Amino acid sequence: MKLRIFFLLLFLSPIIKAQVIQEGLVAYYPFSGNADDVIGVNEGTVYGASLATDRFGNQNNAYYFDGQNDWIEIPDNDLLDFAANQDFTIIIWANIASVQNDMRGNNHELIGKWNAFRSQQYPYAIRITNETASSPNRLATWRFDSDYCGNGPYTFSACEFKRDFWHQFVFRKAGEELTIFQDGVIVGTFTDNTSLNCNTENNHPIYIGKREFDMRMFTGFMDDIAFYNRALSNEEIKTTVTAQEWDPKYGTTNFVEYLIPQQIEPAKIDSVNNTIEIKVNCEADITNVIPEFNTNNAVVKLDGIVQVSGSSSIDLSFPQIYTVETFTEHGCNEENWTVSVVKTFPSEEEIKAQTKFTSFYIPGQIGNSEIDSVNQIINILVPCNFDKSNIIAEFGLANEHAKATINNVVQISGETSNDFTNKIYYDVIFKDCGTTSWEVNLLEEEITTAEIENYKSFFDFDILGKTKSVNIDSENHQIDVVVYCDIDLTNLTPYFEVFEGVKVYLDDVIQESGVNSNNYTKTRYYKLEEPTKCIIQEWSVDITNYELTDTEITNKTSVIDFYIEDQIGETSINTQEKEINVIVPCNFKLDLVNADFELSEGASGYVYEEKLLSGISEISYESPVKFQVFGEKGCVSTEWTINVEKEVVNPSEVLTPDNRKYFVPNVFTPNNDGFNEFFEIGEYLQGSELTIVNNKGKIVYQSDEYYNTFDGEGLHNGIYYYVIRSKCFEKEIDGYVVIAFKNSGK
C-alpha cells in the first residue's frame, strides 16, 4: 500500500497545488473543476454545491455552498477514519459568508464524520459558530469516543474570524494534544482524552458543508481540503498558508481612518491612548451616524456587536467605546477605543444675534410691541379687560433656522395658542447651538385717576333702623358703621348705593342692597367692579355696637329711689360707689321684703338673674344684695349693692315710759269689748321671744316671735309675769301684767 501511495504522489504531483505538503497526505480535494480525491480513490459526490472562484482568482477552483441544500459527500474509508491513538492533520480553506442561511442551530458544519447520534463515536467534526452562539464567529472542533466511554474533547478558537474572507483552518492531533490553527496561528489547544476502549472510528461517510439529516448547513466557499495521517509541524502548517504568496492579512488593533458625514475636519486618531476625536458643527445630528473606518482587517465591535464600515449606525451624542479585535501572526489581540464628538459653538453675541425676535404681535393689542433685545423682554399693552387665557401670537425671528419653544413645545407663529395670564417665557434656539430666553409680558392699560374717582365710591351704607352713625372714607376705601348697642352683628342686611353699573361682591358673591344678609362680627371686604372700565376696588366694612360713655352708662343704669316700708329715715343712694343703704327697725324681718324702687328710664333691675319688680318682688335682705341694673335695650349694666341694716338700739335710751315703740302694758282686758283685748307690746318689741308664767312659775304662754296675739285664753284673772327677749338688744325685759277678764269670770 505504501508503494502505491508513493507512486500516486509522484504521478499526481504536477497537479497538486503548491501549498500541499505531500508526506502523510492520504486524501486531497483541490476542487479543481470537481470534488475528486487527487491522491486516492475517495471521490467526493457533489450535491447542489457549485464551482466558484478560489482565493487566487481562479475560476472553477472552489465550491460554493448555499446553506440550504448544498453539500459534498465522501464515502467511508479507513484512511480517513482516525483511531483514538492515531495522529492526524486536517486542512480546510473556507470563506464564511456574513449571513448563514441555516439558523436552526448556533453552529455550521465545515466537515465531519458523524451520523449525528449522540451514542456513536466519531474521529472529527470541524465547525464554525454563528452570532447566536455564546462564542460567535469562532472555529470549533470535536471528537467523541461513544456514549459508553463519554469522552468528547472539544475547543473553540480564542478569537473570531473575519467573514467574507478566505481563512485556513487546521485541526491537528499530536499524541494527546489537539490543536486548532487559523491562518497558520495556533488559536486553541486541548487534551485528547478519547479512549482506545471505545475508539473513535465509525463507518459513516464524510459530509462537507452539512451534518447528517441535512442539519447545520454551511453558507460560503470551501477549497483545498487535505487529510494527513500524521501531525504536521507548526512550521509546515505555516508554509501552507503563505504558499503562492498568499497574504493572510494579519491585522492590527489600530484605527487607520474614521469618517462621519458631519465632521468638519479630519478625525484626530491617537494610537497611543486609543482615542478618536471628531469635530462637528453644533447643529449636527449625531444620534444616528453611519461611520466609515479602516482597521486593517481587524474586527470592530460595539457592545459585542460586529460593526461594518459604511453600514453600522452608532449614536455619538455621547462617547462610545469600540472593541477592536484582530488576528495577528502572534495570535488574537483586542483593545478598546473611545470615540467622542466635539461640537463647535458660536459666540454669545452671535447666538443673541440669531435668536432675536424681530416682531411680536397679538390680536387686540394697543400700539406696537416693545422689543428689548438687550434684556430679552417684550412688553405688550392690552386693554384692561383683555382675555389673556387663549392667545395666538404672531412673531418673527432673526434667523430662519431658529425656533421658538415654550416648555420644550415648538411655537408656530399664527398657530400655537398659550395662556398669557402670567408672564410667559420663550426659549429661542438656533440650530441646537445656543438658546436665548425671552420674557413676554401683557400689560393692562392703566385707568386714569379721574376715571377711578367717577366710579369708586359707596355713596351710602346703612343698616336701616339700627344705625347710630356711618362714616364713608372714599380715599381709603373704608366704611365704619356704628349700630345700637343691642344690635346682633351676626345677621345684618345693609342698604347701600353705588354708581350705576358697578357690581358689588362679598367673598365673590354678588350683593344686592337690602337683600343679602351677612355676618359682621369681623371686618368684611367688599369688591366694587365696573366691567367696562376695568375698575376693581376693595373696600373694608367694619360694623360695631355703640359704646356708651361712663356718664351715659350711669345715666341709663341709675337707681333714682329705693324704699322699704317701715324703714327708718331716708334711703342713702351713693351713685359713685353704686351702693344703696336702708335702715329698718331692729326687729324687722329681712327674709322676704318687698321694696319700692325707681330706675333710669327704660332700665330694669335683676337679682340672681331674676327680674325685680318694684312693689311686687320679695327677696331676702339678710345679707347685701347685688342688684344688676340694665340700661335701655340691655346694652349696658351696672351692679349696685343694696345693704338693709337693722337699727342699733341702746335699751337704756329706748326703754322709757313715754316711748310707745318699746311700750309693755301692765294690764289688758280680754273681755270682748274690742278694747285692750291683747297683750300689746310696742312695735319695735314685736317679733321678740315672749315667756309668761303664773305666780307659781309655771309657763302659761310662750312664743319665739311674738306679734301681739296673746289674749290670755285659758287663764284666769290674776297677775302674771313675763320675760321679753328682744331682737334689738340683749337685755331682757321683765315685769308683770294683770289679766282682767269680763266679770272676772275666768
pLDDT at 4 over 70: no
Are 236 and 23 in contact, with CB atoms under 8 Å apart? no
Compute CA distances 561 → 554, 564, 581, 625, whole Å. Answer: 14, 10, 11, 16
Q: SS3 of 713, please? A: coil
Backbone phi, then psi, for 660, in 5-degree steps?
Answer: -65, -20
For residue 225 the three cell numbers come to 481540503
Number of other CB atoms surrounding residue 484 within 10 Å: 15
pLDDT level of residue 591 (50, 70, 90 thresholds):
confident
For the chain, domains (ranges, CATH) are 2-245 (2.60.120.200), 257-344 (2.60.40.2340), 348-444 (2.60.40.2340), 449-545 (2.60.40.2340), 550-646 (2.60.40.2340), 651-744 (2.60.40)
Could you give the percent of the chain with pLDDT greater than 90?
Answer: 63
For residue 545 the three cell numbers come to 355696637
DSSP lists the bridge partners of residue 211 as: 215
pLDDT at 223 over 80: yes
Compute CA distances 610 → 172, 622, 624, 635, whole Å. Answer: 129, 18, 16, 17
pLDDT at 744 over 80: no
How far does CA 738 lie from the centroid of its chain?
A: 111
pLDDT level of residue 147 (50, 70, 90 thresholds):
confident
In this prediction, residue 61 carries a pLDDT of 97
Are 282 and 432 in contact, with CB atoms under 8 Å apart? yes
pLDDT level of residue 726 (50, 70, 90 thresholds):
confident
Task: Give the helix/strand (H/E) hosting 242.
Answer: helix 234-242
pLDDT at 535 over 80: no
* Residue 342 exposed, middle or buried by CB count within 10 Å (0-12, 13-18, 19+): exposed
DSSP lists the bridge partners of residue 141 as: 126, 155
Q: What is the distance between the alpha carbons of residues 322 and 260, in angstroms, rounded to a whole number?
A: 15
Give the residue among 9, 72, 77 at the shortest CA–CA distance from 42. Answer: 77
Are 288 and 262 in contact, with CB atoms under 8 Å apart? no
Q: What is the distance between the alpha carbons of residues 365 and 369, in angstroms, rounded to a whole number?
A: 8
Q: SS3 of 743, please? A: helix
For residue 397 the three cell numbers come to 425671528
pLDDT at 391 over 50: yes
In this prediction, residue 13 carries a pLDDT of 41
How far does CA 355 lie from the centroid of its chain?
A: 35
Give the residue among 67, 37, 75 at the shortest CA–CA distance from 49. Answer: 67
Residue whose C-alpha cell reads 486541548 in the numeric block: 190
Q: What is the distance between the alpha carbons of residues 162 and 295, in angstroms, rounded to a whole number?
A: 12
In this prediction, residue 533 carries a pLDDT of 62
Give the residue among 114, 89, 119 at the shortest CA–CA distance from 26. Answer: 89
Maximum CA pair distance of the chain?
Answer: 204
Q: SS3 of 179, please? A: strand
Mean pLDDT of 489-514: 90
pLDDT at 17 over 60: no
In this prediction, residue 502 carries a pLDDT of 86
Mean pLDDT of 299-311: 91
Number of helices and strands in the chain (H, E) = 7, 55
Q: What is the distance between the alpha carbons of residues 113 and 79, in angstroms, rounded to a whole number?
A: 13
In this prediction, residue 454 carries a pLDDT of 62
Least trusted range by pLDDT, from 42-51, 146-155, 528-537 = 528-537
Task: Give the helix/strand (H/E) hosting 455.
Answer: helix 449-455
For residue 122 the three cell numbers come to 466519531
How far does CA 406 lie from the centroid of its chain?
A: 23
> Average pLDDT of the chain?
89
* Residue pLDDT, tens place only, 282-297: 888 999 999 999 987 7
CA 79, 80, 83, 87: dihedral to nearest 10 degrees? 90
In this prediction, residue 1 carries a pLDDT of 32
Q: SS3 of 422, please? A: coil
Q: What is the distance between the alpha carbons of residues 422 and 400, in angstroms, rounded to a whole number?
A: 28
In this prediction, residue 745 carries a pLDDT of 47
* Top-confidence range, 13-22, 30-39, 142-151, 478-487: 30-39
* Residue pLDDT, tens place only, 702-715: 999 999 999 999 99
Number of other CB atoms surrounding residue 607 within 10 Å: 15
pLDDT at 18 over 60: no
In this prediction, residue 109 carries a pLDDT of 95
Q: What is the distance between the alpha carbons of residues 240 and 238, in angstroms, rounded to a whole number?
A: 5
For residue 246 the three cell numbers come to 498568499
Backbone phi, then psi, for 240, in 5-degree steps?
Answer: -70, -20
pLDDT at 161 over 50: yes
- By 3-state DSSP, what share of the chain in percent is helix, strand and coil, each rounded to 5? 10, 45, 45
pLDDT level of residue 449 (50, 70, 90 thresholds):
low
pLDDT at 450 over 70: no
Q: What is the distance between the alpha carbons of residues 541 and 525, in angstroms, rounded to a whole number?
A: 6
Mean pLDDT of 266-290: 93
Q: What is the distance between the alpha carbons of residues 658 and 341, in angstroms, rounded to a whole number?
A: 139
Q: Which residue has the higher pLDDT, 615 or 226?
A: 226
In this prediction, residue 10 carries a pLDDT of 37
Mean pLDDT of 681-685: 88
Are 173 and 86 in contact, with CB atoms under 8 Å apart? yes
Q: Which residues contact 43 (CB under 8 A, 6 or more apart)?
A: 35, 36, 37, 74
In this prediction, residue 53 carries a pLDDT of 97
Could you give the percent of the chain with pLDDT greater than 70?
Answer: 95
pTM for the complete prediction? 0.46
Are 8 and 40 in contact, with CB atoms under 8 Å apart? yes
* Residue pLDDT, tens place only, 416-446: 999 999 999 999 999 888 899 999 999 988 7
Least trusted range by pLDDT, from 100-109, 591-600, 633-642 = 633-642
pLDDT level of residue 216 (50, 70, 90 thresholds):
very high
Are 380 and 443 in contact, with CB atoms under 8 Å apart? yes
pLDDT at 159 over 50: yes
Mean pLDDT of 82-98: 96
Give the residue among 245, 114, 93, 87 at the shortest CA–CA distance from 172. Answer: 87
* Residue pLDDT, tens place only, 21-55: 999 999 999 999 999 999 988 999 999 999 999 99
* Residue pLDDT, tens place only, 326-366: 877 767 788 899 999 999 988 889 999 999 999 999 999 99
Q: SS3 of 525, please? A: strand
Amino acid identity at 213: F
Q: Which residues contact 76 (CB under 8 A, 6 or more apart)?
A: 113, 202, 203, 204, 205, 206
Are 279 and 344 in contact, with CB atoms under 8 Å apart? yes
Q: Which residue has the higher pLDDT, 561 or 529?
A: 561
Full DSSP string of 501-523: T-EEEETTEE--TTT--B--SS-
In this prediction, residue 446 carries a pLDDT of 79
